Amino acid sequence: MKINLNFIEACSLLEKNETTSVELTKIYLKNIKEAKELNCFNTISAEQALDDAEKSDIRRKQGKLKSRFDGIPIGVKDLFCTKNIKTTASSKILSNFIPSYESTVTQNCIDAGLISLGKLNCDEFAMGSTNKTSFYGPVTNPWKSNKSEAKLVPGGSSGGSAAAVAADLCVVSLGTDTGGSIRQPASFTGTVGLKPTYGRVSRWGIIAFASSLDQAGPITKTVEDAAALLEIIAGHDPKDSTSSIKEKESFLDNLNSSVKGIKIGIPKEFKSDGLPVSTQKAWDDCKKLLQSNGAELIDISLPHTMDALPTYYIIAPAEASSNLARYDGVRFGIREEGENLIEMYEKTRSIGFGDEVKRRILIGTYVLSSGYYDAYYIKAQKIRSLIKNDFNQAFEKVDAILTPSTPSTAFEIENEPNDPVQTYLNDVFTVPINLAGIPAISIPFTNDENNLPIGLQLITNSFEEQKLLNIAKNVQDTINYKSVPKNWWKS
């Protein structure tokens, strides 16, 4: 059977009875087993998956499919709470946590008949862009430079989700994106990553990092797959007060790749001398491609782009410092006993959290402290509205915005800069989108001189995912990017 199946292909194989859910599940479980070196999975739920696959095959025989994608194996970022399956957020503090409940997003997947293979590694509490902050160790990017044997980061925080799709360890996967955590790893692994509009997908049951920015989304091999998986996970959820009341949409059926008359904005603030030549070239090539397919290019300005990163690194840690207060050793997770309550808190949280998480809790606590609140948090909120306003004004003139997804391609695991701010710069192109709450997609465009994938980012206005997917499909179909990583990791 053909490897590197995408969602639509898997669906059609199942429809034509050329394979079964059990057979597919077995193949992927074998792939996972052979890819230990990539360290993509925190938890593999093989037994449960095979059980579910068997049930799916029975449903198929009885003509009682839950959806057309019934029986397809997926991977789930270890940030989604899954009933009776360990959910750790890749943190020591939750290393023994087994939820009694299922997140809305994963429940939606179950309701569509998808088969979860297990929980995917990620940065601890989704804080990071390298997947190196995970308590379970870094994920390795399936891609390697053609000039070096060095292991590369898959990006983060949904590093496991992106690497697993790229390495064929699942057909599609679920990630979350707070400042680029879906799009940046998608860009680093040659996959498609979609961050939906804030409120499009329920946050209920997803371990919170920064509540006003977090959004779950698909990581897939194709734009069609992203449309299909988004359709499955999206929708109003009365359990999430920030969930949009918008009706479910048929993103896949409504895909239309024409860009005739579509106006594409090119923000001047994203141009930078520091951008690698190959990334700049990919961006330019894509502009030309869209233009020759009938789109109109318009130069736009998003004046507050450069303020987005510092703004993000105030708002996200502020919310995180409060969201992570519940990990106190009292009710769940690990507890390190102490002489008294304060000592128990201190020991539990000192041992339970990694350095990056601690750093962000400290920053967040600081910026919310009396005397600093106005200077940091309030100011950041003001800039956030200015950033949102930049996009509002831009979308009066254009349908979509095209930018690179990341300022570089995947870099070496061992070569991460010591200064965390340097690492934070990875998110410079993705963070403004979260602050504005709008949707964006990263699609693989070409490979650089080292044969590493370069992703480009398309952005539209709130709840215009259909338009976003349509334009992305146009680019995808025109370039026909078929590159896959060499299968070096098979043990």
Residue number with CB closer to other proteins (373 or 424): 373
Binding mask 100-139 for other proteins (x = CB under 8 A): xx-x------------------------------------
Separation CA 480–CA 486 (nearest Å): 18
Q: How many residues bind other proteins (CB under 8 A)?
A: 44
Q: Is 330 in the site for other proteins (CB under 8 A)?
A: yes
User: Which element (helix H / strand E) includes 386?
Assistant: helix 379-397
Q: Give min distance, CB of 35 to other proteins, in A.
A: 28
> Which residues 6+ apart lie within 8 Å of 414 measured at CB?
150, 151
Judged by DSSP in three states, 116 sits in strand
Binding mask 335-354 for other proteins (x = CB under 8 A): ------x---x---------
Backbone angles phi, psi at 219, to 5 degrees: -120, 125
Q: Give min distance, CB of 200 to other proteins, in A.
A: 15
> Shortest CA distance to 201 belongs to which of 224, 188, 182?
182
Active site residue 77: yes
In degrees, rounded to 5, the angle at the alpha carbon of residue 170 between the alpha carbons of residues 167 and 171 is 105
Separation CA 26–CA 199 (nearest Å): 35
Region near other proteins per CB under 8 A, out of 151-159, 221-229, 298-306, 364-372: 364-372
Q: Is 207 in the site for other proteins (CB under 8 A)?
A: yes
Q: Is 332 in the site for other proteins (CB under 8 A)?
A: yes
> Shortest CA distance to 171 belongs to which of 363, 286, 12, 323?
12
Q: Is 373 in the site for other proteins (CB under 8 A)?
A: yes
Residue number with CB closer to other proteins (41 or 204): 204
Q: Is 30 in the site for other proteins (CB under 8 A)?
A: no
Residues 441-480 that bind other proteins (CB under 8 A): none
Contact 430, 406 (CB under 8 A): yes
Separation CA 53–CA 50 (nearest Å): 5
Separation CA 30–CA 35 (nearest Å): 9
What's the one-letter identity of residue 321?
S
Active site residue 56: no
Region near other proteins per CB under 8 A, out of 220-228, 317-325, 392-400, 411-419: 317-325
Region near other proteins per CB under 8 A, out of 49-57, 68-76, 324-332, 415-423: 324-332
Q: Is 362 in the site for other proteins (CB under 8 A)?
A: no
Query: Roughly what angle, to the nearest 10 degrees, separates helices 21-34 and 7-15?
Result: 140
Active site residue 278: no
> Shortest CA distance to 167 belongs to which of 188, 145, 143, 134?
143
Chain residues in the site for other proteins (CB under 8 A): 80-81, 87, 89, 94, 97, 99-101, 103, 203-208, 210-212, 238-242, 318-319, 321-322, 324-328, 330-332, 341, 345, 365, 368-370, 373, 377
Residues marked active site are found at: 77, 157, 181
